[in-house]
Structure 1
Amino acid sequence: MSSPASIEKAAGLPIVISAGCWRTGTASMAAAYDLLGLRSDYTLTDIGDLRQWELLKQAAESKWPSAPGARSHPPFTRHDWDRIFGSHDAITDGGADYVEELAVAYPDAKVVSWSWSAISSAGGAAPRRSSSTGC
Protein backbone atom coordinates (compact mmCIF):
# COMPACT_ATOMS: atom_id res chain seq x y z
CA MET A 1 0.00 0.00 0.00
CA SER A 2 1.34 3.41 -0.90
CA SER A 3 1.73 6.04 1.75
CA PRO A 4 0.45 9.56 1.02
CA ALA A 5 4.03 10.80 0.65
CA SER A 6 4.75 8.23 -2.08
CA ILE A 7 1.69 9.00 -4.20
CA GLU A 8 2.72 11.09 -7.19
CA LYS A 9 0.02 13.29 -8.60
CA ALA A 10 -0.26 15.99 -11.24
CA ALA A 11 -1.77 19.12 -9.73
CA GLY A 12 -5.53 19.15 -10.01
CA LEU A 13 -6.00 15.78 -11.71
CA PRO A 14 -7.86 12.82 -10.22
CA ILE A 15 -5.66 9.75 -9.77
CA VAL A 16 -8.36 7.35 -8.51
CA ILE A 17 -11.83 6.71 -9.94
CA SER A 18 -14.10 4.58 -7.74
CA ALA A 19 -16.51 2.64 -9.94
CA GLY A 20 -19.07 1.98 -7.22
CA CYS A 21 -22.71 2.96 -7.52
CA TRP A 22 -24.25 5.52 -5.19
CA ARG A 23 -24.93 4.18 -1.69
CA THR A 24 -22.73 1.07 -2.06
CA GLY A 25 -19.94 2.00 0.32
CA THR A 26 -18.82 5.12 -1.51
CA ALA A 27 -18.72 7.11 1.73
CA SER A 28 -16.36 4.52 3.19
CA MET A 29 -14.20 4.68 0.08
CA ALA A 30 -14.09 8.48 0.30
CA ALA A 31 -13.07 8.23 3.97
CA ALA A 32 -10.34 5.73 3.06
CA TYR A 33 -9.00 8.02 0.35
CA ASP A 34 -8.99 10.89 2.84
CA LEU A 35 -6.99 8.75 5.29
CA LEU A 36 -4.47 8.15 2.51
CA GLY A 37 -4.08 11.89 2.13
CA LEU A 38 -6.13 12.17 -1.06
CA ARG A 39 -8.76 14.83 -1.60
CA SER A 40 -11.86 12.81 -2.33
CA ASP A 41 -15.04 13.98 -4.00
CA TYR A 42 -18.03 12.55 -2.17
CA THR A 43 -21.04 14.21 -3.75
CA LEU A 44 -23.50 13.48 -0.94
CA THR A 45 -21.22 15.32 1.52
CA ASP A 46 -20.83 18.24 -0.86
CA ILE A 47 -24.59 18.41 -1.42
CA GLY A 48 -24.64 22.18 -0.86
CA ASP A 49 -22.41 22.77 -3.89
CA LEU A 50 -25.14 23.63 -6.39
CA ARG A 51 -22.57 24.32 -9.13
CA GLN A 52 -21.43 20.69 -8.99
CA TRP A 53 -25.02 19.42 -9.20
CA GLU A 54 -25.71 21.61 -12.25
CA LEU A 55 -22.57 20.30 -13.96
CA LEU A 56 -23.53 16.69 -13.13
CA LYS A 57 -26.97 17.39 -14.61
CA GLN A 58 -25.31 18.63 -17.80
CA ALA A 59 -23.13 15.49 -17.86
CA ALA A 60 -26.25 13.33 -17.58
CA GLU A 61 -28.01 15.24 -20.34
CA SER A 62 -24.91 14.86 -22.51
CA LYS A 63 -24.71 11.10 -21.89
CA TRP A 64 -28.45 10.42 -22.12
CA PRO A 65 -29.84 13.03 -24.58
CA SER A 66 -33.09 11.11 -25.06
CA ALA A 67 -33.98 11.22 -21.34
CA PRO A 68 -37.26 13.03 -20.68
CA GLY A 69 -36.65 16.75 -20.27
CA ALA A 70 -32.96 16.55 -21.25
CA ARG A 71 -31.50 19.62 -22.89
CA SER A 72 -28.99 19.20 -25.70
CA HIS A 73 -25.33 19.27 -24.60
CA PRO A 74 -22.23 18.30 -26.55
CA PRO A 75 -20.23 15.33 -25.26
CA PHE A 76 -18.24 16.18 -22.15
CA THR A 77 -14.55 16.95 -22.67
CA ARG A 78 -11.61 16.76 -20.28
CA HIS A 79 -12.16 20.47 -19.55
CA ASP A 80 -15.77 19.78 -18.54
CA TRP A 81 -14.76 16.93 -16.20
CA ASP A 82 -12.03 19.15 -14.70
CA ARG A 83 -14.73 21.68 -13.78
CA ILE A 84 -16.45 19.00 -11.68
CA PHE A 85 -13.62 16.82 -10.37
CA GLY A 86 -10.35 18.59 -11.22
CA SER A 87 -9.66 19.76 -7.68
CA HIS A 88 -9.97 16.23 -6.28
CA ASP A 89 -7.58 13.30 -6.22
CA ALA A 90 -10.26 10.61 -5.93
CA ILE A 91 -13.72 10.47 -7.50
CA THR A 92 -16.44 8.43 -5.78
CA ASP A 93 -20.24 8.47 -6.11
CA GLY A 94 -20.70 11.50 -8.34
CA GLY A 95 -18.69 9.88 -11.09
CA ALA A 96 -20.24 6.41 -10.84
CA ASP A 97 -22.34 6.75 -13.98
CA TYR A 98 -19.43 8.13 -16.00
CA VAL A 99 -16.57 5.73 -15.28
CA GLU A 100 -15.86 5.02 -18.95
CA GLU A 101 -15.83 8.73 -19.81
CA LEU A 102 -13.69 9.60 -16.79
CA ALA A 103 -11.19 6.85 -17.63
CA VAL A 104 -10.78 8.40 -21.08
CA ALA A 105 -10.48 11.91 -19.63
CA TYR A 106 -7.98 10.80 -16.96
CA PRO A 107 -6.06 7.92 -18.58
CA ASP A 108 -3.43 7.78 -15.82
CA ALA A 109 -6.03 7.37 -13.05
CA LYS A 110 -6.51 3.99 -11.41
CA VAL A 111 -10.07 2.63 -11.52
CA VAL A 112 -11.32 0.78 -8.44
CA SER A 113 -14.07 -1.57 -9.60
CA TRP A 114 -16.56 -3.13 -7.23
CA SER A 115 -19.08 -4.90 -9.47
CA TRP A 116 -17.32 -8.24 -9.99
CA SER A 117 -16.61 -8.68 -6.29
CA ALA A 118 -20.21 -7.78 -5.46
CA ILE A 119 -21.56 -10.24 -8.02
CA SER A 120 -19.29 -13.04 -6.82
CA SER A 121 -20.13 -12.40 -3.16
CA ALA A 122 -23.83 -12.64 -4.06
CA GLY A 123 -23.17 -16.07 -5.54
CA GLY A 124 -23.65 -14.75 -9.05
CA ALA A 125 -27.26 -13.86 -8.23
CA ALA A 126 -26.86 -10.19 -9.10
CA PRO A 127 -28.05 -9.31 -12.60
CA ARG A 128 -25.42 -8.22 -15.09
CA ARG A 129 -25.86 -4.78 -16.58
CA SER A 130 -24.65 -3.44 -19.89
CA SER A 131 -22.57 -0.73 -18.20
CA SER A 132 -19.22 -1.80 -16.82
CA THR A 133 -20.00 0.11 -13.64
CA GLY A 134 -23.23 -1.77 -13.04
CA CYS A 135 -25.02 1.46 -12.15
Structure 2
Amino acid sequence: MSSLQYTEERPYKVIVAKLGLDGHDRGAKVIARALKDAGFEVVYTGIRQTPEQVARAAIEEDADVIGVSILSGAHVHHVRLLIEKLKELGGEDIPVVVGGTIPIVDVDELKRLGVKEVFLPGESLSKMAEIIRELAAKKRQLEALMG
Protein backbone atom coordinates (compact mmCIF):
# COMPACT_ATOMS: atom_id res chain seq x y z
CA MET A 1 0.00 0.00 0.00
CA SER A 2 1.40 3.36 -1.01
CA SER A 3 1.04 6.49 1.11
CA LEU A 4 1.80 10.05 0.05
CA GLN A 5 3.54 10.73 3.37
CA TYR A 6 6.10 7.95 2.98
CA THR A 7 9.11 7.53 0.79
CA GLU A 8 10.64 4.15 0.15
CA GLU A 9 13.33 4.67 2.78
CA ARG A 10 11.47 6.21 5.74
CA PRO A 11 8.51 8.44 6.67
CA TYR A 12 8.95 12.17 6.50
CA LYS A 13 10.06 13.59 9.85
CA VAL A 14 8.69 16.85 11.25
CA ILE A 15 9.88 18.74 14.32
CA VAL A 16 6.95 20.52 15.99
CA ALA A 17 8.24 23.27 18.25
CA LYS A 18 7.08 26.01 20.62
CA LEU A 19 9.56 28.89 20.75
CA GLY A 20 10.05 31.36 23.55
CA LEU A 21 7.95 31.76 26.66
CA ASP A 22 4.71 30.72 24.96
CA GLY A 23 3.32 28.00 27.23
CA HIS A 24 0.12 27.28 25.30
CA ASP A 25 0.69 24.00 23.52
CA ARG A 26 -2.75 22.62 22.71
CA GLY A 27 -2.52 23.72 19.07
CA ALA A 28 0.96 22.25 18.67
CA LYS A 29 -0.25 18.94 20.08
CA VAL A 30 -3.25 18.92 17.74
CA ILE A 31 -0.93 19.52 14.77
CA ALA A 32 1.52 16.87 15.95
CA ARG A 33 -1.28 14.32 16.26
CA ALA A 34 -2.74 15.22 12.86
CA LEU A 35 0.65 14.81 11.22
CA LYS A 36 1.21 11.46 12.94
CA ASP A 37 -2.22 10.34 11.76
CA ALA A 38 -1.23 11.41 8.24
CA GLY A 39 1.81 9.12 8.34
CA PHE A 40 4.59 11.50 9.37
CA GLU A 41 7.13 10.81 12.07
CA VAL A 42 6.75 13.69 14.52
CA VAL A 43 9.11 14.92 17.22
CA TYR A 44 7.43 17.39 19.56
CA THR A 45 10.07 19.41 21.40
CA GLY A 46 7.77 20.74 24.11
CA ILE A 47 7.17 24.27 25.34
CA ARG A 48 9.61 27.09 26.01
CA GLN A 49 12.28 26.05 23.53
CA THR A 50 15.03 28.35 22.33
CA PRO A 51 15.74 28.74 18.61
CA GLU A 52 19.09 27.00 19.19
CA GLN A 53 17.44 24.00 20.89
CA VAL A 54 15.00 23.60 18.01
CA ALA A 55 17.69 24.00 15.33
CA ARG A 56 19.91 21.44 17.05
CA ALA A 57 17.01 19.01 17.49
CA ALA A 58 16.09 19.31 13.82
CA ILE A 59 19.65 18.61 12.71
CA GLU A 60 20.18 15.76 15.19
CA GLU A 61 16.86 14.17 14.22
CA ASP A 62 17.54 14.62 10.48
CA ALA A 63 14.20 16.42 10.20
CA ASP A 64 12.60 17.09 6.83
CA VAL A 65 10.56 20.09 8.08
CA ILE A 66 10.33 22.25 11.20
CA GLY A 67 6.86 23.40 12.24
CA VAL A 68 6.78 26.29 14.71
CA SER A 69 3.59 26.93 16.65
CA ILE A 70 3.54 30.34 18.27
CA LEU A 71 0.88 32.37 20.02
CA SER A 72 2.98 34.87 21.96
CA GLY A 73 3.30 37.60 19.34
CA ALA A 74 7.10 37.24 19.24
CA HIS A 75 7.02 35.14 16.08
CA VAL A 76 9.20 37.40 13.88
CA HIS A 77 11.92 37.67 16.53
CA HIS A 78 12.03 33.95 17.37
CA VAL A 79 11.78 32.75 13.78
CA ARG A 80 14.58 35.12 12.69
CA LEU A 81 16.82 33.61 15.39
CA LEU A 82 15.79 30.06 14.43
CA ILE A 83 16.63 30.57 10.76
CA GLU A 84 19.94 32.25 11.66
CA LYS A 85 20.83 29.34 13.95
CA LEU A 86 19.90 26.79 11.25
CA LYS A 87 22.26 28.55 8.82
CA GLU A 88 25.01 28.70 11.43
CA LEU A 89 24.69 24.96 12.16
CA GLY A 90 24.41 23.88 8.51
CA GLY A 91 20.67 23.17 8.58
CA GLU A 92 19.53 25.87 6.17
CA ASP A 93 18.07 23.17 3.90
CA ILE A 94 15.40 22.30 6.50
CA PRO A 95 12.19 24.12 5.54
CA VAL A 96 10.44 26.06 8.30
CA VAL A 97 6.68 26.56 8.52
CA VAL A 98 4.94 28.68 11.14
CA GLY A 99 1.42 28.54 12.51
CA GLY A 100 -0.56 30.19 15.25
CA THR A 101 -1.95 33.62 15.90
CA ILE A 102 0.08 35.36 13.22
CA PRO A 103 -1.20 38.77 12.11
CA ILE A 104 -1.62 38.88 8.34
CA VAL A 105 0.66 41.93 8.22
CA ASP A 106 3.55 39.73 9.46
CA VAL A 107 3.20 36.96 6.86
CA ASP A 108 5.35 38.69 4.25
CA GLU A 109 8.06 39.45 6.82
CA LEU A 110 8.18 35.81 7.91
CA LYS A 111 8.47 34.70 4.29
CA ARG A 112 11.27 37.23 3.70
CA LEU A 113 13.11 35.62 6.60
CA GLY A 114 12.85 32.27 4.82
CA VAL A 115 9.66 30.71 6.19
CA LYS A 116 8.16 28.49 3.49
CA GLU A 117 4.53 28.67 4.65
CA VAL A 118 2.49 30.46 7.30
CA PHE A 119 -0.66 28.76 8.60
CA LEU A 120 -3.23 31.13 10.05
CA PRO A 121 -5.97 30.21 12.55
CA GLY A 122 -8.63 27.96 11.04
CA GLU A 123 -6.35 26.39 8.44
CA SER A 124 -7.32 22.87 7.37
CA LEU A 125 -5.24 20.15 8.98
CA SER A 126 -5.26 18.17 5.74
CA LYS A 127 -4.01 21.20 3.79
CA MET A 128 -1.22 21.70 6.32
CA ALA A 129 -0.22 18.04 6.04
CA GLU A 130 -0.20 18.24 2.25
CA ILE A 131 1.97 21.38 2.17
CA ILE A 132 4.37 19.91 4.73
CA ARG A 133 4.54 16.68 2.69
CA GLU A 134 5.43 18.67 -0.44
CA LEU A 135 8.16 20.59 1.40
CA ALA A 136 9.60 17.37 2.84
CA ALA A 137 9.58 15.72 -0.59
CA LYS A 138 11.42 18.70 -2.13
CA LYS A 139 14.03 18.58 0.63
CA ARG A 140 14.62 14.87 0.06
CA GLN A 141 14.84 15.38 -3.70
CA LEU A 142 17.48 18.09 -3.24
CA GLU A 143 19.42 15.84 -0.85
CA ALA A 144 19.37 13.06 -3.45
CA LEU A 145 20.66 15.44 -6.15
CA MET A 146 23.41 16.74 -3.89
CA GLY A 147 24.50 13.20 -3.16
More helix by share: 2
The one of the two structures with greater contact order (alpha-carbon pairs below 8 A, sep at least 6) is 1
Larger Rg: 1 or 2?
1
**Normalization by structure 1: what TM-score?**
0.39
More strand by share: 2
**Normalization by structure 2: what TM-score?**
0.36
